[in-house]
Chain A
Amino acid sequence: MATINATINVSSSDLTSSPLALSKTMTMTKAGLSTGLEFTSGLVRRKLTATTKIDLVTVGAQMYGTPTASKANKLYIKNTGSSSVDYVEIAIGDKAGGSPEAAEELLGTAGDSFITLGKLFGGDWMLIPFEGTANNDILVTPSTAEVTTIEWMLFFE
């Protein structure tokens, strides 16, 4: 087992009339246990040079191992750029490989459907649980064909 700690701080002195100061630390443990997650994809760095939607993190067997679905897996993604205009759009679903590309819709039981979570502009990051079941790949679509560099890391069991 390993001890992996994640701490988030969110603060603002003027978002509301009283200051916001949120801080929380979690230790990434296995589902239903107090023992730590011990597997990881490593910190992956990718340069994207097209506005094509790609599978960033796919479910099932991978070179780094096979994340078990429906556990306490965690996924970190960061847009390492500095642009406040360019972004990568993050979605969950299956790769849209058809032509024309499948429209966004309620997640189906087969491929080519997805639901958008949101956008990561330059410097933005996210940390979410990773379900890892079929059709729950994490997809990214850059807003620009200029070089967009993103980093991601999966912690899993």
Chain B
Amino acid sequence: MATTTNSLTLTSTDLFEDSLSISNTSTCYKAGTTIGLDQTTGLKKTYLTATTQIDLFTVMDATNAAENGKVYIANLSEDVEEYITIAIGDAVIGRLYAGDFMWMPYSPKLHLSSDIELTPSVATGMWFEYMCIHNFSAIDPVAIDTRIYADE
């Protein structure tokens, strides 16, 4: 096992009349245990020059549905107008603008529909980085899949 800690601080002195200060620290455990997650994709840094949607993390094994992975994605652009759209399958999670990051749990349930996907807003080149910490049986970034939509 490994010990991986993650923490978040959220602060603002002028969002409210009073200050906002949220602080959390937790450890990345395997689902239902206090045993640390022991695999990672490593922190990857990628430069994309097209607005084509790509898969960051594809679901290789549905047995991972019960697991408790963690996903980190950051948009490294410095142009405030540039963003990346993050989706899981057909569901758009949201946009990460320049400098934004996200951290979320990941329990991939279904082939294709649980893939985590990224779409740059511009084709002029954008840097971003991402990482998954997990104990999945398999995970690997590949080109986007051809999928059959339920309503087609």
Contacts from A to B (Cβ < 8 Å): 2-16, 20, 22, 24, 26-29, 31-34, 38, 40, 43, 70-76, 78, 84-85, 87, 89-90, 92-93, 104-109, 114-121, 123-133, 136, 153
Flag if A107 contacts B12 (CB, 8 Å). no
B residues with CB within 8 A of A: 2-15, 20, 22, 24, 26-27, 29, 31-34, 36-38, 40, 42-43, 65, 68-70, 72, 74, 80-81, 83, 86, 88-97, 99-107, 109-110, 112-114, 131, 133, 147, 149-151
Across the interface, do B94 and A3 meet the contact criterion of CB distance under 8 Å?
Answer: no
Q: A40–B5 contact, CB under 8 A? A: no
State the CA gap A31–B80 with chains docked (Å): 8
Interface pair B29/A8, CB less than 8 Å apart: no
Given A10-B72, A15-B2, A40-B15, A115 and B40 touching (CB < 8 A)? no
CB <8 Å contact, A7 and B31: no
How far is B8's CA from A153's CA once the two chains are assembled, in angstroms? Answer: 14
Asked if B91 and A115 sit within 8 Å, CB to CB, the answer is: yes
A interface: dominant SS: strand
Contacts of A120 in B (CB 8 A): 105
Instruction: List the A residue with the shortest CB-CB distance to B68.
Output: A119
Q: Within the assembled complex, what's the spacing in Å between the Cα atoms of A121 and B100?
A: 25
* Partner pick for A14 among B2, B83, B101, CB 8 A cutoff: B2
Q: Are A8 and B8 in contact (CB under 8 A)?
A: yes
Q: In the complex the two chains form, is B92's CB within 8 Å of A133's CB?
A: yes
- Which residues of B are found within 8 Å of A31, using beta-carbon distances? 83, 95, 97
Query: Which chain A residue has the least Cβ–Cβ distance from B114?
Result: A115
In the complex, what residues of B have CB within 8 A of residue A106's CB?
Answer: 89-90, 112-113, 147, 149-151
Of the candidates A10, A76, A87, the one whose C-beta lies within 8 Å of that of B6 is: A10
